[in-house]
């Protein structure tokens, strides 16, 4: 979607202002938010792609002003409501009105190390061979769906070169909406910065793009 998250090349955000000796969390609630978000992921209702899309769907003015863990929490609340595990009333009251539907999926403390060290690999084996070879020139298709997609807007319609084949990976656009993993080949594509931005020498950009995002030129 053409959402507020698609920030590459946007202007006017001011200095980066890295913080010296930045703490891992700036408040206790941020730490709890991280843990709660990861725990709720283990309930198995949504994929990482659906959660990313929930974050992208936050109203632009909010997305741009929220601290990042607030973006996570806001999306989490939306997802929990979507799957019937939370109501607005419960959140206001601060107490559950009905029992959870999937308590058997609750991530226990003793399971944390295993879940974190395992992760969720997205590489898959598919029968089709990659259609695009290393060194091939490709154009990024002008795709602007309302749903989830992992093409940054600034690369649309630009021509790059296939630099590596990354194997087949879960396709986020379908995986975000319960349409299955539909794995397809992923490529690292290199772009010339001056061509993308119309200025600036000595900069190249690489992005990892799925086969259906690309067309040979």
For position 151 contacting other proteins by CB under 8 A, the verdict is yes
Q: Which is nearer to other proteins, 52 or 177 (CB)?
A: 52
For position 123 contacting other proteins by CB under 8 A, the verdict is yes
Q: What is the DSSP letter of 85?
A: S
* Per-residue CA distances from 89 to 58, 81, 93, 94, 102 (Å): 20, 11, 6, 8, 20
Q: What is the DSSP letter of 179?
A: S
8-27 binders of other proteins (CB under 8 A): 8-19, 22, 24-27
Question: Binder to other proteins among 2, 44, 59, 68 (CB under 8 A)?
Answer: 68
For position 157 contacting other proteins by CB under 8 A, the verdict is no
178-207 binders of other proteins (CB under 8 A): 186, 188, 193, 197, 200, 202-207
Q: How far is the CB of 176 from other proteins (least distance, A)?
A: 13
| Number of residues in contact with other proteins under rule CB under 8 A | 99
Question: Binder to other proteins among 81, 100, 139, 161 (CB under 8 A)?
Answer: 100
Inter-helix orientation angle 28-41/68-82, to 10°: 40
Q: How far is the CB of 104 from other proteins (least distance, A)?
A: 9
Return d(Cα 171, Cα 178) in angstroms, integer: 11
The strand ranges marked E within 56-179 are 123-124, 137-140, 159-169
For position 55 contacting other proteins by CB under 8 A, the verdict is yes
Give the 3-state secondary structure of residue 166.
Answer: strand
């Amino acid at each position: 979607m053409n959402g507020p998250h698609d920030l590459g090349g946007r202007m006017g955000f001011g200095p980066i202002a890295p913080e010296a000796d930045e703490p891992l969390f700036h408040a206790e609630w941020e730490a709890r938010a991280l843990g709660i978000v990861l725990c709720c992921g283990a309930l198995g209702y949504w994929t990482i792609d659906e959660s990313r899309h929930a974050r992208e769907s936050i109203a632009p003015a909010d997305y741009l002003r929220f601290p990042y863990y607030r973006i996570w929490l806001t999306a989490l609340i939306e997802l929990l409501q979507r799957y019937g595990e939370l109501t607005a009333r419960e959140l206001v009251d601060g107490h559950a009105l009905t029992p959870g539907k999937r308590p058997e999926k609750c991530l226990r403390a003793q399971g944390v190390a295993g879940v974190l060290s395992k992760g969720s690999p997205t590489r898959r084996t598919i029968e089709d061979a990659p259609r695009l070879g290393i060194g091939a020139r490709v154009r990024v298709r002008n795709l602007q769906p309302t749903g989830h997609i992992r093409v940054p807007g600034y690369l649309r319609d630009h021509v790059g070169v296939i630099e590596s084949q990354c194997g087949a990976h879960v396709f986020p656009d379908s995986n975000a909406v319960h349409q299955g993993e539909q794995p397809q080949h992923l490529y690292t594509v290199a772009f010339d910065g001056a061509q993308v931005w119309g200025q600036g020498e000595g900069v190249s950009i690489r992005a990892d793009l799925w086969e259906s995002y690309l067309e040979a030129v």
